[in-house]
Amino acid sequence: MATLEEIKALLGEPGFHWSDPAPWTLLEQELGVAFPADFRAVTDAYGPVVISSGLHLYHPGHPTRNLGEEIKESMEFWLEEDSAEFLPTGAGSRPGELLPVATGTTAETVFLRMPHEPSAPWAVGVQEMDSGEFVLYEMTFSDWLLAYLKGDDVMAGASAPERPFFEPLS
């Protein structure tokens, strides 16, 4: 699994540095999930951020760029849409479902696929709305993000960054 240090080496030193677990605990209780530690570590370090003008991450402790609100809005969208047309399984927080956790600037939704059992690995799925393409990446969030930062094609056809950078979202 990629480490936060490897991500920092490509993306730069984070400035958010969240340490209060309360917003995570509340969101996890509400959704009935325990987010992967690597996903929490990245979002706690960087907070609400846009990475390389292409990937938006949010945080459960932020008042306006709140991960919980983003997840709820995205799940409502996927429930209103006939997600069966676009996704291989439903959007949600039950085992095997796709939990929307980030967005791309060119109509992508980034999902964490809920493991079928607690000890099973998580995976990252990307849905590109313009093309209708869904790609599942059998890797952790940090491995997927590191691949994105290195320029690998892990955004369902969206272009990879030439030079990784981030901008905080206010």
| Whether the predicted model's global pTM rises above the 0.75 cut | yes
- Per residue in 36-75, pLDDT (tens digit) is 999 999 999 999 999 988 899 999 999 999 999 999 999 9
- Per residue in 4-23, pLDDT (tens digit) is 999 999 999 999 999 999 99
Cα 13 to Cα 8, 51, 122, 153: the distances in Å are: 6, 13, 26, 24
Nearest by Cα to 36 from 28, 48, 46: 28
What does the domain layout of the chain look like in residue ranges?
18-84+100-152
Q: Token pair of 48, please?
A: 């609400």
